[in-house]
Structure 1
């Protein structure tokens, strides 16, 4: 008996159901089974038993066998070859009788062509027969574009590609405006490991092409094994931002991103952060606008609490609660107004959190330089070489570290130094 039959006994059950629904009588079935797999009285008894079972219940059972393993269709395909059925009729009959219309057509076409050529070897190896380990090793040798092309060959290869981490770690979306048109630029590249610094770029012009980019993005982000070092979304179009978040909200998995760089505002940014797996996100770089309610919601999220660095490039027209930054290592923020209480809170954060390395604040309005020096109790105060900023040191009690403080017209920077 063929090893295929030994390893796939359910293929016989699928064949017998298929033949029963084609109204094959016992004698004709015996002749066909003899051609396919040899004589076996047990198969005839199985056929007789199946005729006594409820058709629709059995069809559901058979359909699940095919869903689990499309190799269970091979004997049905070979049966149609013996009956000299054309491929279109064979596909339609099998789909209609078994009730399975989502089959892998490339795989079906391969076996139909092989059997039609006279090669009835059911054990012929295909990609779907190779071990996942072997196929996975093959996939890992391929670059990103090659893997994406293989996904379109068959569903089996698509599943294998999806089970391996994609060979990329950066995705960047940016908009360029040329004349009256907006062009979406997508950059995908790898920065670590072998074949690093390889980059793939695509430009999308017009809404129809934008949809293609979003569809492709969903394919990538749906892979639970994808882990990005950086994801950049630098888009100012509110329409495209909403479409992007619609894609994000449709995902069934959390995205793994280490560094996020985005222009999204308020609610849309919150939605994006919700889709990122907490604990993977280390760096936040925000350019969008925020209201007080958004900042409060942001500070309650695990994604925020577990990040290490944050930068707000856009001026915040609110006065954020600086206590929300107490767990970070690096902070850079732009505010319209900075109070003395804010500055003292930042000093306190350095005392409470020995992991805080630097806190940079650009401010539209702030206390005078002399007020800051007096309030912080700064010593060794002197001007910088360009005379547009001043430097001072602030000792940290019980530590061999000190705080370096730089005061300029645009703001105040504080960072930790070891003495």
Structure 2
């Protein structure tokens, strides 16, 4: 039973209608009534945290903090029904700050990087303990769409699906732990993810980011600058991709791969060349949807390896320009170019003949591969070409040996 008078008890029990008018204020201002409400929750034999949520829903979020609720809940649960009990003579409860640093360090050692990222936000002392374990990852992958958010780091994975009433979070796939929430799937997912990615000490060898529908700003997700050695981005616009590319640490970032829905954005593609991240990278792979001219090849002169798509009007002329331009690249090791001329068929034969390879008409077979070697003037090195025929394009692989 509840020890409130009948009208008050019925008002409290009917917590589908929040009692925020005078009854609620009346309860919040009277400690004895608050403790009586807690007694009512104890008598329902529900778990303590469920009881606390019902208590807050009915009386108000600011009526009592959880530690005080927990104290009175267990006092009443263990049979101490003295609602006027004076706590002032009790010893002060211990907090996490009373735990020795050595013990905190031992605790942090058993936490995973995501849990440590949450721990470091508590206060400066605990932050120092958490930061004594630098979060270094082999790989982190984040995928954000209009129905779910997926992220993984090393061998752990999480996915949060949109539900009718909120979302469902799965840890390590559908066969592991599940958590229901009334939060938006994106807010729930980012709530787990951003404390980790906003840690300025995070280092990752390979970072993948796929943005299929939601348009995010870097501040929503990452600490800037973000330390990744290799980056793979799929975005909806060139500006979005450049925004996240620019959030990486220049110089630390060595390899870049950019993909996305870029059709009709040719005027924006060269924004990539203007970033410090591109200028200081070693390897760059650009999506087939991003087409460049032969003149743009000069922007790749500092790279060891690269891959991109070239539009051409005159295959014979452009073949020589490509060869002569790449032969001057001092850092160059290899590249792959998709060579495109519209819907007139692949310019494989014209490209090979422009480099000096004689291919009799009767010997040319569709989908064939043609090899060519070019001695770099004034050097003991040469460029080895493999020209692979396709339907409307040819793929040119070039290797310096």
TM-score by length of structure 2 reads 0.59
Q: 1:391 aligns with which of 371, 381, 392?
A: 371
- The answer (yes or no) to whether the contact 1:331–1:359 under 8 Å persists in 2 is yes
- The answer (yes or no) to whether the contact 1:380–1:392 under 8 Å persists in 2 is no
In 1, Cα distance between the equivalents of 2:356 and 2:143?
46
- The answer (yes or no) to whether the contact 2:384–2:400 under 8 Å persists in 1 is yes
Q: 1:354 aligns with which of 330, 333, 341?
A: 330
2:289 aligned counterpart, secondary structure: coil
In 2, Cα distance between the equivalents of 1:271 and 1:139?
34
Cα shift at 1:143:
3.0
The structure-2 alpha-carbon separation of the partners of 1:317 and 1:347, relative to structure 1 and needing over 3 Å to count, comes to closer
Matches within 5 A, 1:270-419: 270-288=242-260, 289=262, 291-319=265-293, 321-337=296-312, 339-340=314-315, 341-365=317-341, 368-378=347-357, 388-407=368-387, 408-409=389-390, 410-418=393-401
1:333 aligned counterpart, secondary structure: strand
1:192 matched residue in structure 2: none
What do the CA deviations read for 1:196-250 (whole angstroms, capped 9, x no partner)?
xx3233334258021122233321222111111111122321xx1x2354515xx
5+ residue gaps, structure 2: 1-65, 71-87, 167-183
In 2, Cα distance between the equivalents of 1:359 and 1:338?
21
5+ residue gaps, structure 1: 1-104, 110-114, 190-197
The structure-2 alpha-carbon separation of the partners of 1:385 and 1:157, relative to structure 1 and needing over 3 Å to count, comes to farther
- The answer (yes or no) to whether the contact 2:117–2:195 under 8 Å persists in 1 is no
The structure-2 alpha-carbon separation of the partners of 1:339 and 1:130, relative to structure 1 and needing over 3 Å to count, comes to farther
The structure-2 alpha-carbon separation of the partners of 1:255 and 1:316, relative to structure 1 and needing over 3 Å to count, comes to same
The structure-2 alpha-carbon separation of the partners of 1:227 and 1:148, relative to structure 1 and needing over 3 Å to count, comes to closer
1:112 matched residue in structure 2: none
Count of matched residue pairs: 289
Moved more, 333-342 or 345-354: 333-342
In 2, Cα distance between the equivalents of 1:334 and 1:292?
12
- The answer (yes or no) to whether the contact 1:279–1:306 under 8 Å persists in 2 is yes
More helix by share: 1
1:355 aligned counterpart, secondary structure: coil
TM-score by length of structure 1 reads 0.57
- The answer (yes or no) to whether the contact 1:393–1:403 under 8 Å persists in 2 is yes
The structure-2 alpha-carbon separation of the partners of 1:318 and 1:351, relative to structure 1 and needing over 3 Å to count, comes to closer
Cα shift at 1:305:
0.5
Cα shift at 1:306:
0.6
Cα shift at 1:360:
0.9
In 2, Cα distance between the equivalents of 1:377 and 1:169?
45
